[in-house]
Amino acid sequence: MLLQNHKSYSGDTQKNYKSIVQSIIDKAMSDSIAFNRLEYMCDTYGPRLSGSENLNKALMWIRDEMLKDSLENVKAEEVYVPHWVRGNEWCKLMQPREANMPMLGLGGSIATPKEGITAPVLVVHSYEELRQKAGEAKGKIVLFNKPWLGYGDAVQFRTHGAEKAAAVGAVASLIRSASPIGMQNPHTGMMVYADSIPKIPHAAITHEDALLLERLQARGQNPVVHLYMEAQTLPDALSYNVMGEIRGTEKPDEIVVLGGHSDSWDAGTGAQDDGGGCIATWHAVRLLKELGIKPKRTIRAVMFVNEENGVKGGKAYADKHKNEKHHLMFEFDSGVFAPDVIGFSASDSLMEIVKGFEKYLQMVDSIKVTKGGWGVDISPLARLNRIPVMSLGTNDEGKYFWYHHSPADTPDKVDPVMLNKCVAAIAIAVYLYSEME
């Protein structure tokens, strides 16, 4: 029954694996526990920002539920994580009329003065345009109103916009939320400061209000905005990487790790980013345990903490477990939609073998195996020890960034059938990999 070489995928053992794979799919698709737990976690504990009491309560619940699942070596390993607190905040258009503007401070931002900041707005679309208008920026609130060209393009203004605006004398900075749609739904996320540049408050507003401010500026109506933020960064707080496993029968010291990140931003309840990824990877291991499938190697589910603003969980795991023999590291953080791609990063010879998984994965859905596995949490150890990396990509039809880092990231955005398909695909991929010679 072991996958000893590439030929075994098309040889006499195919029927054996087909039977096992079908049992995994049948069990996953008939099970409501994964979705029920996702709803419970999000509804009961709410947002899970690093350093928060909500997060640690959720992590202790995960630990206790893993014990109920009879996973082995269940533990919560200590990790100190950043502790940024939003506090009260608001944004208001003052001229040419008064109107409230939905906003979210960006993670890591400083507060405004106690009286807030009231200043004219300068709307720009790029760093180059800001440089060209540098003489107009002093004493103003700079708004980066960049049309959506993808997350990688948009997020640069979220991450570094405050630095660029402060360098030309702005008193605060705003961004058009990093999302393809507006619907008066602001999106938060991590930002950074440069030590050599003054720190200014940095926040996200909605598409609708960014476009409003641009129209006012274009007509020469000189919009004025009042921004108020109480954000603060507290000392690092104690949190945990939570994990449980199935011990391998033949090579228990060789480990297949899979997981997602347990923390979320404090807007919404992190159902898609990345509660669903945590639940799916954890329940892939639970499913194998419940079916009595005994892998050759140890399969360990890790709920990594603090992916959103520091990756302290991934770094702590790498530091603590770097001397263990990791066979594969798998991450799921692409949103719970139809499973579409298993990405894999390793040698060409390994890629050839893993490509043979497709026939089994396509029993779940139209899943391809391609080059390019990735994962923020698994990368510290994978890079350190050159461990093969695998990840699940999903077909979100462009919807993931509708909810990402926003108040709309709640369990109703997750399809229970798609969650179960993701569980099945993950369980099949990691089980087959754990059996390879």
pLDDT at 281: 98
Nearest residue to 146 (alpha-carbon basis) of 137, 159, 136, 138: 159
- Amino acid making up residue 84: W
pLDDT at 16: 77
Nearest residue to 291 (alpha-carbon basis) of 15, 22, 8, 1: 22
Record the pTM. 0.95
Task: Please report where in the chains the tokens 């960049």 appear, as a residue.
Answer: 146
Catalytic residue list: 307
Q: How far is CA 276 from CA 66, 421, 431, in A?
A: 16, 12, 20
Domains and CATH numbers, the chain: 6-84+235-435 (3.40.630.10), 87-230 (3.50.30.30)
Q: Are the beta carbons of 433 and 327 closer than 8 angstroms?
A: yes
Q: Under DSSP, is residue 131 helix (H, G, I), strand (E, B) or coil? A: helix
pLDDT at 423: 98
Q: Are the beta carbons of 239 and 306 closer than 8 angstroms?
A: yes
Query: What is the DSSP secondary structure assignment for residue 113, as one 8-state letter?
Result: P
pLDDT at 437: 83
pLDDT at 75: 98
> Which residue ranges of the chain lie beneath pLDDT 70?
1-15
Alpha-carbon span 53 to 348, nearest angstrom? 45
pLDDT at 12: 35
